[in-house]
C-alpha cells in the first residue's frame, strides 16, 4: 500500500527528455554562420538522406512535425484512392478509415482534417498494437474501406507486417505512424518502412529530437515530390507565385534539422540506454503481480517507454471519470492510479496508457471493431455480450513508468522500491 516514507528526488525525473550531443550545436552553428535560417539548407538535405537510409526507404521529406507528415499521408492516400476533391472538401470526405485505437490522437486526427471517418480497431492484448484479427473482421464488415492507419505503441511494435499483408489482400493503402518507433524493427525491417506512406517524429520527448520536427517516408518519388510541394505552399514551377493546388506551410526549419542531424548518430546508443531501463524494471519488479509491456516475437523494440500492467486479480478498486481518478488502497493489491501517485510523490513522472480513442468524448459515436467482429461504440463498449474491450482493459490496468535514458540505476532502484511498496 502506497505510503510516503520514500525520499523525493531533488530534481524531477521526467518520463523522457532530450539528450544533447555536441554535434547538434555544430550543425546549428553552421546554419547560423551560413545564414541559412530558413526552411531550406544543408541540414535539411542531409537529414532527409539519413532519415531515409536509417528507415530503409528511398525518400524522406523533412516537415515541421509528425502530425503534418501524417496529414499529408492522409491527403495523398485520399487523392490516390478517391481522386482530387473540389477545393472546399477533404480528400477522404465521408470515407471510413480503419485506425489504431490505443494511441496518441495525432495518429488519426489528420484523417478527420481530410473529412474521413475513423473506425477504430481494437488492440491485441499480446502486442498492445492494432489487432490483425480485428482488422480482418473490420474488412468483413466494411469491404469497401481502402485506408488503414496503424501506429506502433511506445516503440514496441506488433504485427505491422501482418497488417500490411491484410491491407494488400484487400487492396487498401497503409499509413504507418512510426512516431514512437524509430529504430525498432519487425523481422529485421525498420519501423517506418511498412507503410505505403509513413511518418516519424522528432518531438521533444521522442527517442531522438530537434525539439520538434518530423519526416514523411516513402519509396515513391512522385509521392515524395507531391508532399514536398504541398508542404511549401504548392508553388508551381513559374517565374511568379503560381498555384494549382491548396498549399501548406509544413516545411522543417534548417535549425531544427541541425539539431536532429546531430542526434541521428546516437540513435542506437539511446536505444541501448532505453533497453537497459526496461530490463532493470523487469528484473526489479520480479515477484510482483505485474507484467512489463510485451515484446512481440520477431520484433526488436526501441524501448522508448517502459510500461507495466497489473494482473487482473491484483487490481485494487479504481474508478475514472473524464477528468479524475479514485482508488481504494488494499493490502497486496494496487492499480495505476495508486502507482502513478506514488511515483509522483517522489518527484518523478509516470503516465497512464494512451486512453483508447473509442473512449474519448470526441469520438464516442465512432465505431470500434473487436476481434470477435463486434461493432460497437463507447456507449455499449462494456456491455457488448461479454466481449472484452482490450484497449479499455489495458488502459485500466496499465501505466507508463519514468523511462528517461539518463536516469541512474540508483534513481531507478528507488522508483522500483516505491512501486513494490504499492503492493505491500
Ligand atoms: C508524438 C506522436 C505523434 C505526433 O508527433 P509530432 O511530431 O509531435 O507531431 C504522432 N503519433 C504518435 C503515436 C506519437 O507518439
Q: Is 176 in the pocket of ligand 1 (CB under 6 A)?
A: no
CA of 66 to the centre of ligand 1 (A): 6
Using the mean position of ligand 1's atoms as its centre, give its distance from the Cα of residue 287 in Å. Answer: 34
Q: What is the CATH number of domain 267-360+383-421?
A: 3.90.1150.10
Could you read off the pLDDT of 107-140 as tens digits, one per residue? 999 999 999 999 999 999 999 999 999 999 999 9
Residue 59 parent element (H or E): strand 59-63
Buried-state track 230-252, b at ≥16 Cβ within 10 A, e below 16: bbeebeeeeeeeeeebeebebbb
The burial class, CB within 10 Å (0-12 / 13-18 / 19+), for 221 is exposed
Among 71, 103, 106, 180, the mutation site with the greatest number of ligand 1 atoms within 8 A of its Cβ is 106
Q: Which residues contact 113 (CB under 8 A, 6 or more apart)?
A: 71, 74, 90
Q: What are 364-402's pLDDT values in tens digits? A: 889 999 888 777 755 444 444 555 789 999 999 999 999
Whole-model pTM: value is: 0.96
pLDDT at position 35: 95
Give residues with Cβ within 8 angstroms of 241, minimum separation 6: 235
CB 423 within 8 A of CB 328: no
Cross-strand partners of 130: 123
Instruction: To the nearest 10°, report the CA torsion of 57, 61, 67, 72.
Output: -90
Evaluate: CB of 65 within 6 angstroms of ligand 1: yes
pLDDT of residue 99: 98
Containing H/E element for 200?
A: strand 197-201
CA 179 → CA 111, 218, 237, distances in Å?
Answer: 16, 15, 32
Where do runs of H (alpha helix) occur along 58-159? 66-82, 109-113, 132-141
- Most ligand 1 atoms within 8 A of CB, residue of 16, 18, 66 to mutate: 66
Residues of the chain with CATH 3.90.1150.10: 267-360+383-421
**Do the Cβ atoms of 180 and 192 come closer than 8 Å?**
no
Ligand 1, atom 10, residue with closest C-alpha: 106
For residue 378, the model assigns a pLDDT of 53
Measured in Å, residue 242 CA sits from the centre of ligand 1 at 32
As assigned by CATH, the class of the 22-266 domain is alpha beta
How far does residue 200's CA lie from ligand 1's centre (Å)?
Answer: 8
The C-alpha torsion from 207 through 213 and 218 to 220, rounded to 10°, is -160
H-assigned helices in 297-408 = 336-345, 390-397
CATH 3.40.640.10 in the chain is located at 22-266
Residues of the chain with pLDDT under 70: 377-387
Q: How many CB atoms lie within 10 A of CB 218?
A: 23
> For residue 408, how far is the Cα from the chain centroid?
26
C-alpha cell at position 188? 529485421
Q: Following DSSP, what letter does each residue of 392-422 receive, concatenated?
A: HHHHHHEEE----TT--HHHHHHHHHHHHHH
What DSSP designation does 115 have? T
Residue 41 Cα to ligand 1 middle (Å)? 24
pLDDT at 377: 56
Amino acid at each position: 500500500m502506497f505510503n510516503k516514507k520514500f525520499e523525493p528526488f531533488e530534481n524531477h525525473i521526467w518520463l523522457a527528455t532530450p539528450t544533447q550531443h555536441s554535434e547538434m550545436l555544430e550543425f546549428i552553428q553552421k546554419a547560423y554562420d551560413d545564414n541559412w535560417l530558413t526552411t531550406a539548407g544543408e541540414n535539411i538535405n542531409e537529414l532527409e538522406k539519413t532519415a531515409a537510409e536509417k528507415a530503409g526507404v528511398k525518400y524522406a521529406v523533412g516537415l515541421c512535425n509528425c502530425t503534418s507528415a501524417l496529414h499529408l499521408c492522409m491527403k495523398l492516400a485520399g487523392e490516390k484512392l478517391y481522386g482530387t476533391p473540389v477545393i472546399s472538401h477533404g480528400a477522404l470526405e465521408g470515407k471510413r478509415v480503419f485506425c489504431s485505437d490505443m494511441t496518441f490522437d495525432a495518429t488519426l486526427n489528420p484523417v478527420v482534417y481530410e473529412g474521413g471517418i475513423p473506425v477504430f480497431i481494437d488492440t491485441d492484448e499480446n502486442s498492445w498494437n492494432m489487432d490483425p484479427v480485428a482488422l480482418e473482421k473490420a474488412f468483413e464488415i466494411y469491404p469497401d474501406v481502402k485506408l488503414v492507419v496503424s501506429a506502433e505503441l511506445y516503440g514496441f511494435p506488433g504485427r505491422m507486417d501482418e497488417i500490411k499483408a491484410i491491407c494488400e489482400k484487400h487492396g487498401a493503402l497503409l499509413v504507418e505512424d512510426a512516431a514512437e518507433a524509430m529504430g525498432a524493427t519487425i523481422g529485421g525491417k525498420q519501423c517506418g518502412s511498412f507503410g505505403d506512406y509513413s511518418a516519424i517524429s522528432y518531438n521533444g520527448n521522442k527517442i531522438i529530437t530537434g525539439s520538434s520536427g518530423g519526416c514523411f517516408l516513402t519509396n515513391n518519388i512522385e509521392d515524395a515530390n507531391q508532399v514536398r510541394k504541398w508542404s511549401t505552399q504548392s508553388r508551381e514551377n513559374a517565374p511568379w507565385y503560381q498555384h494549382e493546388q491548396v498549399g501548406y506551410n509544413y516545411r522543417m526549419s534548417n535549425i531544427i534539422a541541425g539539431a536532429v542531424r546531430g542526434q541521428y548518430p546516437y540513435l542506437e546508443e539511446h536505444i541501448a540506454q532505453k533497453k537497459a531501463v526496461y530490463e532493470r524494471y523487469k528484473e526489479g519488479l520480479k515477484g510482483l503481480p505485474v507484467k512489463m509491456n510485451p515484446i512481440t516475437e520477431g520484433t526488436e523494440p526501441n524501448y522508448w517507454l517502459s510500461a507495466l500492467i497489473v494482473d487482473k486479480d491484483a487490481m485494487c478498486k479504481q474508478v475514472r471519470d473524464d477528468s479524475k481518478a479514485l482508488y481504494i488502497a488494499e493490502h497486496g493489491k494496487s492499480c495505476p492510479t495508486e502507482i502513478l501517485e506514488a511515483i509522483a510523490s517522489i518527484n518523478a513522472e509516470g503516465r497512464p496508457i494512451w486512453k483508447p480513442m473509442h473512449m474519448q468524448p470526441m469520438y464516442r459515436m465512432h465505431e470500434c471493431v473487436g476481434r470477435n467482429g463486434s461493432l460497437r461504440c463507447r456507449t455499449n463498449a462494456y456491455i457488448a455480450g461479454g466481449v472484452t474491450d482490450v484497449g479499455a482493459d489495458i488502459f485500466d490496468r496499465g501505466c507508463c513508468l519514468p523511462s528517461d535514458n539518463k536516469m541512474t540505476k540508483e534513481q531507478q532502484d528507488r522508483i522500483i522500491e516505491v512501486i513494490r511498496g504499492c503492493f505491500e
